[in-house]
Amino acid sequence: MWDKLEALASKVPELERLLSDPAVTGNQREMQRVGRELAELRPVAEAHARYRKVARELEENREMLESETEPELKAMAREEIQRLASEMERLEQEIRILLIPKDPNDDKNILIEIRAGAGGEEASLFATELFRAYTMYADGKGWKVEVLARSETGLGGTREVIAMIEGNGAYSRLKFEKGVHRVQRVPATEAGGRIHTSTVTVAVMPEAEEYDVQIHPDDLRIDVFRSSGPGGQSVNTTDSAVRITHIPTGLVVQCQDEKSQLKNKTKALKILRSRLYDAEMEKRNAERADLRRSQVGTGDRSERIRTYNFPQNRVTDHRIGLTVHQLTSVLSGGFDPFIGALTAQTQLEALRK
Task: State the greatest distance between any 2 C-alpha atoms of the chain, in Å, as a whole number.
Answer: 94
Of the segments 261-265, 280-284, 285-289, 348-352, which one has the largest average pLDDT value?
261-265
Distance of CA 10 to the CA centre of its chain: 30
The separation between the first and the last C-alpha atoms of the chain, rounded to the nearest angstrom, is 14
Q: Looking at residues 90-102, what average pLDDT do you find?
A: 84
Q: Tell me if 51 sits within 8 A of 91, measured CB to CB.
A: yes
The predicted model gives 148-175 an average pLDDT of: 90
Tell me, what amino acid is at 277? Y
pLDDT per residue as tens digits for the range 293-346: 555 555 555 568 999 999 999 999 999 999 999 999 999 999 999 999 999 888
Q: Check residue 229 and give its pLDDT.
A: 58
Predicted confidence (pLDDT) per residue in 168-195, tens digit: 889 999 999 999 999 999 987 676 678 8
Q: Of how many residues is the chain composed?
A: 353
Note the pLDDT tens digit of each residue in 221-246: 998 887 765 444 444 556 788 899 99
Domain topology for 105-353: Alpha-Beta Plaits (3.30.70)
CB 241 within 8 A of CB 284: no
Burial degree of 231 (CB within 10 A; 0-12, 13-18, 19+)? middle
Contact 162, 149 (CB under 8 A): yes
Q: Which of 193-202, 208-217, 228-237 has the lowest mean pLDDT?
A: 228-237
With a cut of 60, say whether residue 66 has pLDDT above it. Answer: yes
Question: CA–CA separation, 5 vs 15, rounded Å?
Answer: 16
User: What's the CA gap between 46 and 243, in Å, rounded?
Assistant: 50
Comparing 74 with 295, the larger pLDDT belongs to 74
Q: Which residues contact 177 (CB under 8 A, 6 or more apart)?
A: 112, 134, 202, 204, 335, 339
Q: Are 204 and 178 in contact (CB under 8 A)?
A: yes
